[in-house]
Amino acid sequence: MAQPLLDNWTSQDFDTVEQGVLVARHRLADTGLFDDDALAEIIDNHPAADLSINTMGVDPGKFDWREGERNGVSGRELLQLVRDGQLWINCRKMLVHQPEYARAINQVYDEIEAGKHGFKAEQRSANLLISSPTAWVPYHVDMPINMLWHIRGAKRVWIYPHFDQRFAPAQVLEKVCSGEWSEEIPYNNSFDRYALVFDAQPGQVITWPQLAPHRVRNLEGLNVSLSTEHKNARARRRLNVHNANHLLRTKFGLACKSIEADGPVAHAKQALARAYRLAGKFVGKEKEQFVYPKTFIVDPDAPHGYRLKEGVESEVVAPHEELELAGV
């Protein structure tokens, strides 16, 4: 029998999953899957379509999130550029492409299901995150239920009150859930007085309720984490409620304030959102999801490990600001 990967979780820890903010312990580092040799191998054999390289610039007060091209750099060299520079590697769909990692990820989910009555982690997915010592991720929301399994380095996580209009207004969540905006949403540093702040250390997992705004800043060392996501019936219904509200607001001029995920109205909204998506597929007019263009090239000789492509603007406009400027 495999050794447990959850480290001495209490009944309260299990109960908090999906309901509140949880900081608990795990033993993923004991698997040996996250040392430098293993990470370099992952970078080299992971499908290029599901490996993204990002930078966030050097000024935490300025939105500068970009996606770039690997430029043929080997996994070991790229790992060193991340350690020395200002880069963020995201290996997506680990459950699909990396069987050894999939076994560990499924084990932690299975252990949670065994410890929490009624808990279901469906549509599981996981991303391996490898990032520079001073990297950060801007203020955003995740549509699935997210769990951050921290393994190496140290990072600070700010988590803001969920379903509070001050931090993520309903219309903002509608635009994210509908794919009109990326997951980055408008932020003001005055929000920080209301945030729960945690300094994640190796061997800790942090999770929060679905669609809770959060941001992350690394503190020291090469940072390695698994970001796992899952959905279940209620989580899917919650997203469909926001999608239906967006549809009713934009197509029919009806402002629906309720974001409740339970009850007959929520189920009716879910049916509407699903029907609209199905109709879009039938007529070949599915809504395109936001994607970042690739605007830089990894370059071992450049400061921070990358250089902008020729002709690329040095200033980045946040996706939601760009849409607002265009009057969308």
Q: pLDDT tens digit string along 91-114?
A: 999 999 999 999 999 999 999 999
Question: Which two structure tokens, joined as six digits, stand for 72?
Answer: 């043929």
Q: Quick one: pLDDT at residue 325? A: 41
Q: Quick one: pLDDT at residue 326? A: 40
Beta strands in 84-240 (DSSP E): 88-91, 122-131, 136-140, 145-159, 196-200, 204-207, 214-231
42-47-48-54 Cα dihedral, nearest 10 degrees: -50
Q: pLDDT tens digit string along 246-300?
A: 999 999 898 888 899 999 999 999 999 999 888 876 655 566 666 788 999 999 9
Q: What is the mean pLDDT of the chain?
A: 92
- pTM for this one? 0.92
Query: What confidence tier does 18 reach under pLDDT thresholds 50, 70, 90?
Result: very high
Q: Three-state SS for 201?
A: coil
Q: Quick one: pLDDT at residue 319? A: 59
Q: pLDDT tens digit string along 27-74?
A: 999 999 999 999 999 999 999 999 999 999 888 778 888 999 999 999
User: What percentage of the chain reaches a pLDDT higher than 70?
Assistant: 92
CATH of 11-168+184-231+295-316, one of 3.40.50.1100, 2.60.120.10, 3.40.50.740, 3.40.50.300: 2.60.120.10
Scored b (16 or more CB within 10 A) or e, 2-37 reads eeebbeebeeebbebbbeebbbbebebbebebbeee
The full set of domain ranges for the chain reads 11-168+184-231+295-316, 235-282
Question: Which two structure tokens, joined as six digits, stand for 56?
Answer: 């966030």
Q: Quick one: pLDDT at residue 255? A: 85
